[in-house]
Structure 1
Amino acid sequence: MAPFTKKKLKKVFLLLHLISGLEDDEKIVGGYECPRNSVPYQVSLFTGYNYCGGVLLSDQWVLSAAHCKPRFRLGEHDIWEPDHTEQHIMSAAFIRHPDYNPRTQDSDIMLIKLSQPAILNNYVRPAVLPSDCGSAGTMCQISGWGNIRPSDEGSRYPDKLQCLEVPLLSDDTCFNAYPFQITENMICAGYLEGGKDSCQGDSGGPMVCEGQLQGVVSWGHGCAQRNKPGVYTKLGPTTPSRSVTPIVYAE
């Protein structure tokens, strides 16, 4: 059976969100509303609702998960209200990693070229690719507009960008959580006790550790479940999945 990617069942969850109404101040599965414009490299892949996340790498290139389908909003915070910092840009080209496997989610990474350069400013700014691999225990920030409830509590989608700090987990811990499913292109982050995680709608979004982009949201078994941390496509300097990124800097 294929892994449960973070965008599956999104349309069903959107319907539940629309009928749920306003509730108490819950956050992205244990997270919080990001300070406005504090994640300037965050991209919303938007098709009438936030479908996936992405990461700005340069004024013309966005990185996301290979299983996502993109249209772009940059400089976004509240996806339903004008922030006057947004840039809406169409896509011009897609480059999925040649080794992407939709069954296993290996090499779940994609580059998208924008149809026109983004205007870089305080609200729209590229992320920094890592010069080394993050170590277990390093705290990282993830962000997105995905589901803010654990899998066993239904769904609710926020209007405003949500953030969460999660620790990188060791390769052994990651493998033990998902036996024979973790490849060299994957890294786990999160809490084994559950309660805090990325979720549906966060796919392709950034995991930034000590100022460097160490991964993008990829998959997991449910959201915020005990002993099932989030799985991210690894972007360390020697990781095979990163092999598509040099094209960004060759232009």
Structure 2
Amino acid sequence: MTFRFLSAAALVGALAAPVLGEETADYATPKEPAIASPYTYAKSGAKAERAKSAGEAGAKVIGGEVAADGAWPWQVALLVGGAPVSTESQFCGGSLVMDRWILTAAHCVHMQQDDGSYADLWPQDVAVLVGTNQLAEGTGDLIPVEAVFRHPSYVGGGFDFDIALIKLSRAPQVPYQTIEVPDAEYGDILNQQGVTTIVTGWGLQEGGMASAELRQAEIQVLDRELCNTAMLEARAEDAAGGFGYAVQTLGVSEADAYAIWDELVARAPKPVSENMICSGTFEGGKTSCNGDSGGPLVVPVEGGGYIQAGIVSWGLTGMEGRGCEETALFSAYTNISKFVPWLNQVIEANP
């Protein structure tokens, strides 16, 4: 059986929404993406300890709201294997794309080892909670994992090619739905500035509090180049001081220094690659956060229903270097349409 996806002939209702203006946003200086393992964070107990000291804040995903019971029936939670169902054991999200197949982020299942190397989680390290919006004992169906498949081009500690599949040991025994993903042509239609998107998850809320209730936030696709410009300008600003010191110390002429700097900036890789979708708001304050990783970014389609365009991949760290930047204008999501051939290959090879 091949992986299900919608063709470009399908029309997305979100494209009818007004496209954002050409004006540039007043970007706050973004911090770098966090690279800490969400699995290790949950298993170590650090997530539970952080929750104890979290400041009192609005009970919502950053800028979001509580999802209605039964909403987003393809959403699943990844939990530390063998641990009770709770916010402390939940470390990532995912989505049901077939009865026994979960789509998630590669960085959710590819962990750094004690010797510094990276390796995939063993199936027994993970359990998947299906069919509930509540992280509580006795809710949903907690299903063992049969196999984990990380995209072969994903490199530990990075975020490009950030996609993975998890095969469940059995189909869920509670009500659920699967969600479709777009092919490459339809994916290009969805990845346009102004398209409405919705991100869901149990990630940290404002103030660093964990959420036992599934939450949602409506955001928009932003132009990838605008997001890259914001990130690269921030990186250049951080690097400028050290570069100026080196120029003075080495006695490099002003003309040569400018030429070297321009070449250096031109060679810097773009943080938001073509394999990613940039989504957020120009006013900021709506974003995914720790624990949302691997979850779905969906787009409403004409006539009702949704299609999953992205996977929560990375966001900007807070000003203190931990947690999320709660005023961030955007987060990055894996563009699923770029990986449909790989998804089909894995599923067909593992019936």
Query: Do the two structures share a fold, i.e. TM-score over 0.5?
Result: yes
Give the distance between the partners of 1:14 and 1:5, measured in 2 at CA: 19
Q: Partner residue of 2:52? A: 18
Q: Partner residue of 2:101? A: 61
Give the distance between the partners of 1:184 and 1:215, measured in 2 at CA: 12
Q: Secondary structure at the match of 1:213?
A: strand
Q: CA RMSD in A?
A: 2.4
Percent same amino acid among aligned pairs?
31
Give the distance between the partners of 1:39 and 1:203, measured in 2 at CA: 16
Give the distance between the partners of 1:248 and 1:81, measured in 2 at CA: 32
* Preserved CA contact (<8 Å) 1:194 1:224: no
- Structure 2 spans left out of the alignment, 5+ residues: 1-30, 84-88, 110-125, 233-269, 301-305, 318-323
**Which of 282, 292, 296 lines up with 1:202 in the alignment?**
292
Give the distance between the partners of 1:207 and 1:173, measured in 2 at CA: 20
Give the distance between the partners of 2:346 and 2:150, measured in 1 at CA: 13
How many angstroms does 1:176 deviate by?
A: 1.6
Within 5 Å, which residues of 2 pair with 1:217-228? 217-222=312-317, 223-226=324-327, 228=329
How many angstroms does 1:50 deviate by?
A: 1.2
Within 5 Å, which residues of 2 pair with 1:114-193? 114-119=168-173, 121=175, 124-131=176-183, 132-133=186-187, 134=190, 135-149=192-206, 153=207, 155-179=208-232, 180-193=270-283
Give the distance between the partners of 1:186 and 1:6, measured in 2 at CA: 20
Q: Secondary structure at the match of 1:174?
A: helix
Q: Partner residue of 2:116? A: none
Higher-Rg member (1/2): 2
Give CA deviations for 1:163-206 in whole Å, capped at 9, x if unaligned. Answer: 11110111212222333212111111012432111000000000
Q: Secondary structure at the match of 1:82?
A: coil
Aligned residues, how many? 239
How many angstroms does 1:248 deviate by?
A: 6.3
Give CA deviations for 1:1-40 in whole Å, capped at 9, x if unaligned. Answer: 983148655543431213559x564200110010011010
Question: Structure 1 residues 177, 103: CA separation in 2 closer, same or farther (over 3 Å shift)?
Answer: farther
When structure 1 is superposed on structure 2, of 220-229 and 3-12 the one drifting more is: 3-12
Q: Secondary structure at the match of 2:106?
A: coil
Q: Secondary structure at the match of 1:67?
A: helix
The answer as to 2:212 corresponding to 1:212 is: no
Q: Partner residue of 2:90? A: 50
Question: Structure 1 residues 242, 228: CA separation in 2 closer, same or farther (over 3 Å shift)?
Answer: farther
